């Protein structure tokens, strides 16, 4: 353990929802829920205003709608989330070469490695400046935890939410952890928590009182030893700059079980193409193709096939996934499908199998697909077909996504149905805008790229630094994120 709080944990506050509030003036201070909008969709992020109603991440969207029927429900816009994440991670890398991203909105930073901080005072200055820089660059708020270990830094950032900073001074860790729930410790999930609870252990302090031998008896040797060390605030895990990607995969959950075997095959083909596109974007290839099938009764099957060499050829992955599907009984219906590639490498290996597959496909490229909403294959609001006759161009009006109208300018989709699409015309720097309704095939309406949240960042955009809603000034929030 270090003798100074020089490990920093940053967690952006309700990241997806905060981006949407910053983008859409009419939603600031309002309940916003981002995720898959179909009956089987899942909440990705809920704004702090929505959490007041009990909505939280990973909750079924149907349950969220019952708890907060008047909230704004939006489909994720992963492109802008990634863009803003890169801006934030860039600020972190200016502090240290050791930055360990955990997700788009969360990372550890070793401040000592970058000589950015060496004691409590310097660490506080870094944390304060970082939060100000993030707001200046992105218009968003992030919470910062500073401590002598990764575990404690993450606990500190949770205590700091929303829009705050907490520093855990070395020497105070045991007193801080003692009264906290055992669930605060890494590795204590629902199952382990139940084991501990049945043994009368509810807090971190009670874990210490129970002793290491009792924990080993309850949880096994490896888990028991590790948990006891964590309860004593012992955490020697280093900040690791490069987290090796072990696999690339995509999956969709369907609103209605798929019974048609031909449709299942088409979905697997589409997922294989999306998976390969992600492989290529990451500059990777892989040897092992994995198919995941969740059937109507929630039973989940996985099948895999290992090729002779790494590939990023879409035809090869499609054919392998199709062969794997042949061994799966889909009678009764399928509710989820997934295709993944593991055994990754940063090169491809030419082989006759790939070349032959490519020839059979006649040079066919990857199918162009949009980013799928969190929670899988959710309802795609009204689809219109327009353009040159026979072109078959499909237009999807997804709730929350950006559009532009020839007469009214930039806006976003509030909803669609019955051949109509409703759009609110506003930008990050404007006042709340007016709502107008159009036919879904209105020739003046088209999809658009998101506007930058802060003027001068990522292109010309109106307005200045954007706030993200009234809840960000508070020190307490319901749930994490």
61, 68 contact by CB (below 8 A): no
Beta bridge partners, 42, equal 60
Q: Please name which of 148, 145, 105 lies closest in space to residue 126, comparing C-alpha atoms.
A: 145
The residue count of the chain comes to: 481
114, 97 contact by CB (below 8 A): yes
| 3-class DSSP state of 144 | strand
What are φ and ψ of residue 114, in 5° steps? Answer: -95, 5
The C-alpha angle 351, 353, 359, rounded to 5 degrees, equals: 105
Task: Please name the helix (run of DSSP H) or strand (run of DSSP E) that holds residue 340, with its range, or none.
Answer: strand 334-345
Beta bridge partners, 404, equal 410, 446
Q: Please name which of 1, 26, 2, 27 lies closest in space to residue 16, comparing C-alpha atoms.
A: 27
Whole-angstrom distance, CA of residue 124 vs CA of residue 109? 14
Burial of 187 (0-12, 13-18, 19+ CB in 10 A): exposed
Whole-angstrom distance, CA of residue 237 vs CA of residue 119? 19
Q: How many other CB atoms are found less than 10 A from the CB of residue 63?
A: 14
106 is catalytic: yes
User: Which among 49, 106, 173, 251 is annotated as catalytic?
Assistant: 106
How far is C-alpha 356 from the chain's CA centre? 37
Would you report the helix, strand and coil content of the chain in percent, each value rounded to 5? 35, 25, 40
- Residue 199 is given by DSSP the state T
188, 151 contact by CB (below 8 A): no
The C-alpha angle 368, 371, 373, rounded to 5 degrees, equals: 140
Whole-angstrom distance, CA of residue 478 vs CA of residue 1? 31
- The crossing angle, in degrees rounded to 10, of helices 314-326 and 352-361 is 90
Whole-angstrom distance, CA of residue 109 vs CA of residue 279? 27
Whole-angstrom distance, CA of residue 75 vs CA of residue 60? 14
Within 13 Å of residue 392, how many CA atoms lie on the same side as its CB?
1
List, as one string, the DSSP characters of 205-251.
Answer: HHHHHH-HHHHHHHH-HHHHHHHHHHHTT---PPP-S-----EEEEE
Q: Which residues are catalytic?
A: 106
């Amino acid at each position: 353990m270090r003798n100074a709080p020089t490990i920093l944990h940053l967690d952006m506050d309700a990241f997806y929802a905060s981006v949407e509030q910053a983008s859409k003036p009419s939603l600031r201070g309002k309940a916003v829920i981002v995720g898959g909008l179909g009956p089987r969709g899942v909440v990705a992020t809920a704004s702090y205003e929505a959490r007041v109603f009990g909505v939280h991440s990973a909750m079924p969207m149907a349950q969220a709608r019952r708890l907060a029927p008047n909230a704004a429900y939006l489909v994720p816009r992963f492109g802008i989330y990634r863009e803003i994440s890169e801006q934030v991670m860039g600020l972190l890398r200016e502090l240290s070469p050791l930055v360990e991203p955990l997700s788009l909105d969360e990372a550890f930073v070793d401040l000592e490695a970058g000589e950015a901080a060496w004691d409590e005072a310097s660490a506080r200055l870094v944390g304060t400046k970082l939060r100000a820089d993030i707001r200046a660059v992105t218009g968003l708020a992030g919470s910062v935890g500073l401590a002598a270990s990764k575990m404690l830094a993450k606990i500190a950032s949770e205590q700091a939410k929303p829009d705050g900073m907490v520093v855990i001074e070395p020497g105070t860790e045991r007193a801080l952890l003692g009264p906290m729930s055992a669930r605060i410790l890494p590795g204590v999930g629902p199952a382990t928590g139940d084991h501990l609870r049945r043994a009368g252990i509810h807090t971190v302090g009670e874990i210490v009182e129970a002793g290491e031998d009792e924990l080993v008896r309850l949880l096994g040797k490896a888990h028991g030893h590790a948990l006891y060390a964590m309860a004593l605030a012992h955490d020697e895990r280093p900040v690791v700059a490069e987290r090796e990607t072990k696999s690339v995969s995509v999956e969709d959950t369907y609103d209605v079980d798929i019974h048609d075997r031909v449709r299942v095959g088409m979905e697997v083909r589409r997922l294989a193409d999306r998976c390969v596109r992600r492989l290529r974007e990451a500059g990777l290839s892989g040897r092992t193709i994995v198919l995941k099938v969740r059937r109507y009764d929630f039973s989940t099957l996985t099948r895999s096939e290992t090729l002779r060499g790494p590939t990023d050829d879409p035809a090869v992955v499609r054919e392998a996934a199709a062969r794997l599907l042949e061994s799966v009984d889909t009678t009764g219906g399928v509710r989820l499908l997934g295709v993944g590639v593991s055994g990754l490498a940063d090169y491809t290996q030419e082989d006759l199998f790939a070349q032959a597959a490519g020839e059979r496909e006649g040079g066919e490229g990857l199918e162009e697909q949009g980013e799928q909403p969190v929670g899988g294959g959710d309802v795609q609001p009204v689809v219109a077909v327009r353009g040159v006759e026979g072109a078959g161009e499909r237009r999807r009006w997804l709730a929350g996504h950006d559009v532009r109208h020839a007469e009214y300018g930039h806006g976003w989709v509030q909803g669609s149905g019955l051949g109509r699409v409703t759009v609110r015309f506003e930008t990050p720097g404007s006042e709340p805008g007016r709502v107008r309704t159009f036919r879904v095939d209105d020739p003046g309406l088209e999809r658009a790229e998101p506007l930058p949240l802060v003027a001068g960042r990522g292109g010309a955009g109106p307005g200045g630094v954007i706030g993200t809603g009234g809840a960000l000034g508070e020190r307490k929030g319901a749930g994490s994120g």
